Amino acid sequence: MGNKFSRRDTLKFGLGATLGATTALYAPAVLSSDAPVIRYLGTAVNMGDEIEKKLFEDTGIKVQYISKTTDEVTKSVLTQPNSFDIVDSEYFSLPKLVPSGNILGMDTTRIKEWDNVTSIFTKGMTPSGKKVGLQGTAPSKVMYLTGATSGKFADEATQYATLIPTVYNADTLGIRPDLIDAPVTSWADLMRPEFKGKAATLNIPSIGIMDAAMVVEAMGEYTYPDKGNMTKAEIDLTMKIFTEAKKAGHFRAFWSDFNESVNLMASGEVVIQSMWSPAITAVKAQGKPCVYQPLKEGYRAWAAGFALPKTTKGKQADVVYEFINWYLSGWVGAYLNRQGYYSAVLSTAKEYMSENEWGFWMEGKPAAEDILSPSGAKLGSVGEVRDGGSYEDRMGGVACWNATMDENKYMVRKWNEMVAA
């Protein structure tokens, strides 16, 4: 791969130098037959054929997806930083990635829409000024670096960002309203006795423990100073409650794969569980009612963004920055918003969405006409309102963020103990 690039670059440079401005007419043809390729490492969340096609149409850049799970993305950044040109990582991985020195600070002066990036990332509040919960690895706490290669987080805004945000969302419990009698309003309802053998949670320790903490707090067992950074005693307490429930047969299953969560819910094996928003859509697409239930204690949020490995330099870095600018310019934002995620730059995405779409997804208004997914599947009928309502209500209701704890090693061990119990 490396050789190919340098050959291409040399070719381009050579052509540019010899043909130069005098034959500017020929240049586009030459360049388009020699499309730059970027290797894009990330989770499958924001990878899609449509994005790839549109990108090539608009910019002539080709993208090569390297799709992995969240944990594997982190592993790749740490162990194989030269295997990709750009990484789409979650913010909660940053406490591992940044000290390793394998990713560079992103130069915000090269990002056209930087000033329009939603204040959730830059200030930790919604656009209307409502403060969001900052427990856990909240993006606003790890947004800036003290320098491009410093490896240290900055307390104040600097020129260098850790990640250029791409996509984020607020997660909650998913339920099957047709199989549940009493309304679900709190995280504590996951442990309601009537759901014995019909509840599930996920077997990804770093996310599972956050959901567990939301439950424990909602049950009134304990109030954490910071759910996203527990002490050993707090981990013990949280896991004890879940271990007892597990032993008593409260959980039908734990899931570790997105598709498992869809199957559990669609088959009716489980009626209430920790879930991700596209999984709700997938259950609905099978004709089963499924609600992403807003809960009074708030949401557990996550966010992802772009970074360059230290090995992406020069012309290749220019191409990657061009890609990021295109990514934030609106089309992709609209594409993400239509799936129930949120885009980092709201103003540009709005231009690519119809009034009805914007009203439904972002403002919590009833749909004036059918709501379609990017692939054309029907997600909502006329009059329907999005679960949880508007962007302000959902993101404003965030209680904590996915996190990497100081006691990570201990937490993973305790989680394994629960599975073995």
Partner 1 sequence: MTKISRYFVPKFSWLALPFAAVFFLFFVIPLFLTIIVSFWDYNDYSIIPDLIFENYVYIFEGCFQFDADLCMTFKTYLSTLYFCLLTWGLTLFVGFFVAYFLAFYVKTIPIQIVLFLICTIPFWTSNVIRMVSWIPLLGRHGLINDTLIFLGIIDAPVEWFLYSEFSVILALVHLYTLFMIVPIFNSMIRIDKSIIEGAYDAGASEIQILTNIIIPLCKPGIVIGSIFVVTVVMGDFVTIGIMGGQQLASIGKIINTEMNYLQLPGAAANAVILLFITIIIIITMTKFIDIRKEL
Give me the residues that bind partner 1 (CB under 8 A), please: 69, 71-72, 74-75, 78, 95-97, 99-100, 197, 200, 203, 205-206, 246, 251-256, 259-260, 263, 267-269, 404, 408-409, 412-413, 415-417, 419-421
Name which of 74 and 108 has its Cβ closer to partner 1: 74
Q: Is 154 in contact with 98 (CB distance < 8 Å)?
A: no
Gap between the Cα atoms of 365 and 363, Å rounded: 6
Segments of 2-102 assigned E as strands: 37-42, 62-67, 86-90
- Nearest alpha carbon to residue 120 among 168, 171, 172: 168
Gap between the Cα atoms of 84 and 93, Å rounded: 17
Name which of 255 and 391 has its Cβ closer to partner 1: 255
Name which of 69 and 146 has its Cβ closer to partner 1: 69
Minimum CB separation from partner 1 for residue 374, in Å? 24
Name which of 265 and 353 has its Cβ closer to partner 1: 265
Minimum CB separation from partner 1 for residue 267, in Å? 5
Minimum CB separation from partner 1 for residue 23, in Å? 49
Name which of 307 and 395 has its Cβ closer to partner 1: 307
Minimum CB separation from partner 1 for residue 52, in Å? 24
CB atoms closer than 10 angstroms to residue 366 = 14
Q: How far is CA 236 from the centre of its chain?
A: 28
Minimum CB separation from partner 1 for residue 417, in Å? 5
Q: Is 160 in contact with 147 (CB distance < 8 Å)?
A: yes
Q: Is 300 in contact with 238 (CB distance < 8 Å)?
A: no
Name which of 84 and 335 has its Cβ closer to partner 1: 84
Tell me, what amino acid is at 62? K
| Residue whose token pair is 């749909």 | 367
CB atoms closer than 10 angstroms to residue 1 = 10
Minimum CB separation from partner 1 for residue 420, in Å? 4
- Nearest alpha carbon to residue 314 among 64, 7, 9, 3: 9
